[in-house]
Structure 1
Amino acid sequence: MLVSLIILGILFLLFMLLFFSRVYFHLHYSLKNKQQQLFLTITIYKIPLYRKNLDISDISPDPISVDFTTFPDEVKRLKANVKDAKEKIDYILNTIRIHQLRWSTVGGSGDAFLTGIASGAVWSIKGIIIGYIYEMGEIVCRPDIEVLPTFQSKEFTTTIECIISLPLGQARHTLLRKKRGNASFFTSNSE
C-alpha cells in the first residue's frame, strides 16, 4: 500500500512537472531565389520531439512577385489579411514567449535611389511589427534586426530565426479547444 502511494506520488509530481513545462519551437524561415523554406524543431527539456524541413513556396506571398521594391506593397496586402486574423494573432502572442528573434533582409532594386527608399520602408515595417510583438507578447531577448541594401543588384532575400515557447498545459488546452468543435476561433470568417 505504501509503495503504491509513493509510486502514485512520483507519477503525480512527474505529471505536474510536465504540465508546467514549456515546449520550445525553433523556427527558421527563409525566402531566397524565389524559394520559401521553413525548418521547424519542437523540443521539451532540450529533447527534440519533432523536426521537419518544409518547402512552402506555394504559400502566399507569391515569391515570384516579391522583390525589394514590392516588399512594402506585399506587407500592405498581408496587413489587410491580418486585420481579419487580429484576434487569433493577439491570442497567440499572449500565450507564447519569444526567446530569440533574428530577422535579416538583403535586397536591392538595381537603382540606388529606389533601393534607399525601399530600405527605409523595410526598416519601418520591421519596426512596426517588432513594436506590436512587444506590446502584445512577451519577448525575453533583444531582437536582432537588420536590413542590408545591395545598391547595384536586383534581389530580395529574407531570413527569420526565432525560438518561441509555450507552456505544455496551454498547448494541450489549445488542442482540446480545437477538437471540441470550437474551431471557429481557429478558422477565418471567410471560410
Structure 2
Amino acid sequence: MEEVSTVLYVWIAAFLFLVILLIFMKVTISLDYSHANDNDHIAVKIITLYGIVRLKKDIPMVKVNTEDQTIDIREKKMASTKTPSQEKETMHKKVGKRDVKEILHQMERITKEIVDLNRIMRKFFIHIKIVSFHWSTWIGFHDAALTGVAAGGVWSVKGALLAFMQEHLTFKHKPVYEVIPAFQHNVSQTHFACIAYFRIGHAMLAAIRLLVHWLKGRKARKNASLQATKNESSV
C-alpha cells in the first residue's frame, strides 16, 4: 500500500512539474519580410519547447519573371455557384419596425462582443514581448518634390503604427524604424525584421477567457431566441 502511494505521489509530482514547464514555456516567433521593387518574400521562424522544436517557413509572395515580363502570384480562386437564371432573380423584402428593432439589437450585441474580445486580446497582447524590431524603407522618384512628399507620408504611417504597437505590446528594446528618400531614382524597397515571444501560460489563459466568453454569448443568444419565440407565440 505504501509503495502504491509513493508511486502515485511521484506521478502527481511529475505531472505538476510538466504543467509548470508548459505554462512557463516560451514561443519565440521571428518574422522577416522584404520587398524589393517587384519582389516580396516572407520568412517565418518559430522556436518552442525550450529550443528543441524549430520550425521555419519561407514564403515567396510575388515573383517577377524578367525573361517574359510575367508575374507569378499565389492565389486561390473561388468558383461562383450562381447560375445566370439565379442572378436575374431578385428578392424583395419589406422591412418593418420589428425588423429594424432586431437589426439594432444585433448591432448592439456584435458591438458588445467586439469590445469584450478586444479587452481579452489586450490582456494577452500586453504579455507579448518584442525583443527586436527593425523596419527600413527606401523610396524615391525622379521628381525630388514627389520623393519628399512620399517619404513624409511613409514616415507618418510608420509613426502611427509604432505608436499603436507600443500601446498594446511590450518592447524590450527601443524599436528602430527609418525612411530613406532616394532622390532622382525610382526606388520602392522595404525590410522588416521582428522577433517576439510569449509564454504558453498566457496563451492558455487567453484561450480559456475566449471560450468562457463564447459560452456566455451562446447562452445569451439561446435565451434571447427562446424569449423571442415566447413573445411571438403570446401575440
- TM-score with structure 1 setting the length: 0.68
Equivalent in 162, 165, 169 of residue 130 of structure 1: 162
Deviation, structure 1 residue 108: 0.5
* One-letter identity of the residue aligned with 2:39: Q
* One-letter identity of the residue aligned with 2:51: K
Aligned to 1:73: none
1:6 aligned to 2:10? yes
Structure 2: 5+ residue stretches without partners? 63-72, 76-113, 215-235
- Post-superposition Cα deviations, 1:89-132, rounded to whole Å, max 9, x if no partner, equal x6464352211100010110221111112112211111111111
Equivalent in 90, 102, 106 of residue 138 of structure 2: 106
**Bigger RCO of structures 1 and 2 (CA < 8 A, at least 6 apart):** 1
Question: What percentage of aligned pairs have identical amino acids?
Answer: 29
Aligned to 1:55: 60
CA distance 1:132–1:59, change in 2 (3 Å): farther
CA distance 1:104–1:114, change in 2 (3 Å): same
Equivalent in 2, 16, 20 of residue 16 of structure 1: 20
The answer as to whether partners of 1:38 and 1:54 remain within 8 angstroms in 2 is yes
Aligned to 1:46: 51
Root mean square deviation, CA, Å: 3.0
1:159 aligned to 2:164? no
**Bigger proportion of residues as helix:** 2
CA distance 1:176–1:30, change in 2 (3 Å): farther
Q: How many residues align?
A: 156
- Post-superposition Cα deviations, 1:35-68, rounded to whole Å, max 9, x if no partner, equal 22111111123344311111233589xxxxxxxx
Aligned to 2:175: 143
CA distance 1:87–1:111, change in 2 (3 Å): farther
